[in-house]
Structure 1
Amino acid sequence: MTPSPWPNPLIEQRADPFILRHGDGYYFIASVPEYDRLEIRYATDIEKLPAAQPVVVWRKPQSGPMSQLIWAPELHHIDGRWYIYFAAAATKTLDALNMFQHRMFALECADADPLTGHWIEKGQVVTPWDTFALDATTFHHQGRQWYLWAQKAPDIPGNSNIYLAELENPWTLKGDPVMLSRPEFEWECRGFLVNEGPAVVTHGNRLFISYSASATDENYCMGLLWIDMEACPLNPANWHKSPQPVFTTNWENRQFGPGHNSFTTTRDGRDVLVFHARNYTEIEGDPLYDPNRHTRVQLFEWDKQGMPQFGTPQPEHD
């Protein structure tokens, strides 16, 4: 593997990291330890993001459906406007299934600069089920805009599965969703039955979806789905799933629970894996409230068959 040129960690205490390369630079957004706001950083290069001043573009209200536990935001630019997708709950209380009560929401900014522009709440992104939902992302493919997310299905055991639907507009689904993946392998079911945090990358004649599985401690890891670029993404039979995880805890390097990733590229076109991981396993209490899932970035490559080779989480270094 090619050594990555950035310090590890890149940004401390930022989980669920998302880096968008757009225009002349890079935008960074992630969950903050307080789970109470959305903030964006901008820099002309990835290595400058840690020193970039975070700009708070939205704070949670004191009450209502978006008033608790703001999770996993992503920043996207669609048809000349900016959008932030995030998950939020009305309460920190668990429901009858012992799960958090998150739903997915969207913000829109029509101004050129998302750091200084005016953000408007577009409300909940409604799906066919009123259940735990989170980790939305979006991508353009085959001339259409798609919405990809994780949600609890009423009739399937576990916390969440991966779903895909076309978008009518950036905050409204079009047509019925299809399930692309559910926790089925042992490595997806450690602690909790989880498929979440999907991210999209294309290479050659394939579109890939990485996702995260299992509990958010050292068992957290990444899986992989893929489809031919010309195949219909709404037909689950067209998708392939790796029977093995593709990015996992490395005890030698002391990198634990790597996951909830996104993808970006360097200025010279090299592919970058963006993810979070801890450097210890001794977590007191709920791992969710441990703030030390740090943002990490490293280069990855492709093999001769056109499959991604993520390697292993690298040890910490300056």
Structure 2
Amino acid sequence: MSPVAMAQRTFTNPIKSSGPDPWVLQKDGWYYYMNTTGRNLTLWRTHNLAELATAESKIVYTPPAGQPYSRDLWAPEIHSFNDRWYIYFSADSLNNRSHRVWVIENASPDPMQGDWVMKGKIGDKADHWEIDMSVIDYKGQLYAAWSGWEGPTNGRQDIYLARLKNPWTIDGDRIKISQPDLPWEMHGDVPQAWQKNGEVPKIYVNEGPEFLQHSDKLFIVYSANACWLDYCLGLLTYNGKGDLLDPGSWTKSQNPVFVQAPENGVWAPGHGGFFRSADGKQDWMIYHANRSATDGCGDKRAPYIQPFTWHADGSPDFGKPIVNVAVPAPIAK
């Protein structure tokens, strides 16, 4: 194989120079990619993720000015259900307290074509603050997981789960399945710029929940601590027997399952997502991380991807962040 051909099939992390809250969906040999832009919903696609930085891209949706979803668009995810495409994204109109999740739909076979139509806000009955929604079809039933506040303004971010009656409507009540309650989840000092009158308030964070299914096991991987601190990934495991909406059906791992590697120049890895290679044989994770301990929560966060394996008990083995080495890309179509 020529050096040029080899270069086309490998990459080094980060796979793009910037891209907070990255997401990949692999479908029919295409890798569809999204990340937070803050202003619009941009979709990339490629047959070869090693070429993501130069992949075809298109702004598929720009919210009209003055709408309750017109500002601070975060954490977009593209999904496909019942031969239609859906993008879930968090947005607000005035400030963070108005953040909710919104859904757009496209009936075209090609998500880069056709019209994206606003289906509306997807939330619980009491209209609580929410961000970072992801959705799964589990045994023929749609479920959504997201990060939310227990009250209207308490600021502590918990993980909630709900059943869906269709891809844009919650069916029934939201159920809290995790809150920051372990020592490693509670490193919540806020940045100095947010402090007032010398006070150092705490914000404890569980966010970015992502479903991960392996054989007969179901997990939710979530981000803990905070993006300006030692962000890391935690794990919730479904016991496989009870109702998914019963908090007792989920067990939280007592330690994080993926942490930063300052010795490799990787800080605050979080907001992980998961996909399979086009040949269906390899499991991959995507996450964002910083290249400095002081990079914070802005556009310095860049996307990293790497393969992962499984422990003997069926739980994911994410290893350590991989950086500065050539990695064979996910199998291309």
Q: TM-score, normalised by structure 2?
A: 0.87
Aligned ranges 1:155-234 → 2 under 5 Å: 158-191=155-188, 192-234=203-245
1:148 pairs with one of 145, 149, 153: 145
Structure 1 counterpart of 2:21? 16
Q: Is the 8 A contact 1:274 1:295 kept in 2?
A: yes
Q: 2:252 aligns with which of 241, 255, 258?
A: 241
Distance in 2 between the 1:18 and 1:132 partners? 22
Residue identity opposite 1:64 in structure 2: Q
Q: Does the Cα contact within 8 Å between 2:87 and 2:103 map onto a contact in 1? A: yes
2-side partners of 1:105 and 1:157: how far apart?
A: 22
Question: Which has the higher mean CA deviation after the structures are superposed, 40-49 or 115-124?
Answer: 40-49
Query: Of 288, 302, 306, which aligns to 1:294?
Result: 302
Amino acid in the other structure paired with 1:26: Y
Q: Given that residues 159 and 206 in structure 2 are in contact (C-alpha distance below 8 angstroms), is that contact kept between their aligned partners in structure 1?
A: yes
2:292 is aligned to 280
Which residue is equivalent to 2:321? 313
Query: 1: CA distance between counterparts of 2:219 and 2:322?
Result: 23
Q: How big is the shift at 1:206?
A: 1.1
| More moved, 200-209 vs 105-114 | 200-209
Distance across 2 between alignment mates of 1:203 and 1:221: 21
Contact 1:149 1:162 in 2 (8 A): yes
Structure 1: state its 5+ residue gaps.
95-99
1:63 is paired with a residue whose SS is: coil
* Alpha-carbon distance in structure 2 between the residues aligned to 1:6 and 1:300: 16
Find the partner of 1:49 among 48, 52, 59: 52
State whether residues 9 and 317 of structure 1, in contact with CA within 8 Å, keep that contact through their aligned partners in structure 2.
no
Matched to 2:252, the amino acid is K
CA contact (8 A) 2:283 2:307 kept: yes
- CA offset at residue 186 of structure 1? 1.8
Check 1:158–1:66 CA distance in 2 against 1; reply closer, same or farther (3 A cut): closer
Q: CA deviation at 1:236?
A: 1.1
| Matching residue of 1:254 | 265
Give the CA RMSD over aligned residues. Answer: 1.8
Larger radius of gyration: 2
Partner residue, 2:105? 108
Letter of the structure 1 residue corresponding to residue 289 of structure 2: A
Q: Is the 8 A contact 1:103 1:133 kept in 2?
A: yes
Whole-Å separation in 2 of the counterparts to 1:234 and 1:130: 19
Q: 1:82 aligns with which of 57, 72, 85?
A: 85
Query: Do the aligned residues in 2 keep the contact of 1:152 with 1:160 (CA within 8 Å)?
Result: yes
Offset at residue 187 of structure 1 (A): 1.6
SS in 1 for 2:164: strand
CA displacement 1:123-162 (0-9 Å, x = unmatched): 1112133332100010011221111111111189543111
| Deviation of 1:317 (Å) | 4.3
Q: Which runs of 5+ in 2 are unaligned?
A: 1-8, 189-202, 327-333
- Aligned residue for 1:31, secondary structure, equals coil
Describe the SS at the equivalent of 2:135: strand
Q: Is the 8 A contact 1:60 1:70 kept in 2?
A: no
Identity %: 34
| Partner residue in 1 for 2:195 | none
What displacement does 1:45 show?
2.4
Q: Partner letter of residue 15 of structure 2?
A: L
Q: Distance in 2 between matches of 1:63 and 1:186?
A: 41
The answer to whether the Cα contact below 8 Å between 1:85 and 1:105 also exists between their aligned partners in 2 is: yes
Q: For residues 293 and 278 of structure 1, what CA distance do their matches in structure 2 show?
A: 5
Counterpart position of 1:7: 12
Counterpart of 2:144 in 1: which secondary structure? strand
What is the letter of the counterpart of residue 321 of structure 2? P
